[in-house]
Structure 1
């Protein structure tokens, strides 16, 4: 659809693909094949902004010391992905990287911190430039900070 939303059948197919990637990730200690083979992936579990239910999404990430960086690009759609709306309502999240699972707090980056991370993101994933060009919204960059 032209407004950046997916038709119901596309959303169902996307949800099924996400479920397959999540299952493969968990069965293989964070390793997946196919389109995502060799990509650094993590699983982010947020609390649904409206439902309060846990929602898990597979996301590409960049390491940043002990933190992880994720980008709410939504492939350049005109709206933020659902997981981003969830973590803005409930910033306490769960992260799975490899075989490790830990609690984290999601922190939205701004200013110079965001700019520096964008440079790293573009160097790691040049398609980010096309995603940003496809939308008028500023694509959020989020840090996932481990909680003690």
Structure 2
């Protein structure tokens, strides 16, 4: 997929992403955790989390909804950007930080993170493709290796509030 194709998909789903984030935040996580993404090749019962981090350039707090999987107590997100040729901004921001926060449904955590490598990465990638099948096509459409971010919760925190 080219960056142009990614932009077309992003434009078509922009309202969905904004509405999803607003629903997740306004309900305190009671709604928005499980969404139907079968219209784009995913599952009817797809799990999503909210990732909170600080913008590396703006210094502002940002919250991004993402698909996730759980492997042995680590929460995994995929920096796919729909198979675009460049990494998503959230991933570049996370790379600048040692800790970040995530919320799954009505529970939020401060977390450390890491990127799996080698054989572990291959296993985690295969698992995440089973969580969200379009990842396979996204990887096939770009020369970049799509990053995986594995987060380990270190302490519970208050659920997220909308960012002003």
Q: What does the per-residue CA deviation read over 1:93-129, in whole Å, with 9 as the maximum and x for residues that have no partner?
A: 1100010011012212211111110121222322211
Asked if 1:84 is matched to 2:95, the reply is no
Q: What does the per-residue CA deviation read over 1:34-61, in whole Å, with 9 as the maximum and x for residues that have no partner?
A: 6446211000011101111111110000
TM-score by length of structure 1 reads 0.84
Q: What does the per-residue CA deviation read over 1:11-44, in whole Å, with 9 as the maximum and x for residues that have no partner?
A: 9x72x54332112113162533764462110000
Q: What does the per-residue CA deviation read over 1:50-109, in whole Å, with 9 as the maximum and x for residues that have no partner?
A: 111111110000011221000001110001111000000113111000100110122122
Match of 1:75 among 74, 79, 82: 82
RMSD between aligned alpha carbons? 2.5
Whether the 8 Å contact between 2:35 and 2:48 is mirrored in structure 1 is no
1:1-148 equivalence runs, <5 A: 2-4=2-4, 6=7, 10=11, 14=14, 16-26=15-25, 27=27, 29-32=29-32, 35-36=36-37, 38-148=45-155
Higher relative contact order (CA 8 A, sep 6+): 2
- Number of aligned residues: 145
Whether the 8 Å contact between 1:30 and 1:42 is mirrored in structure 2 is no
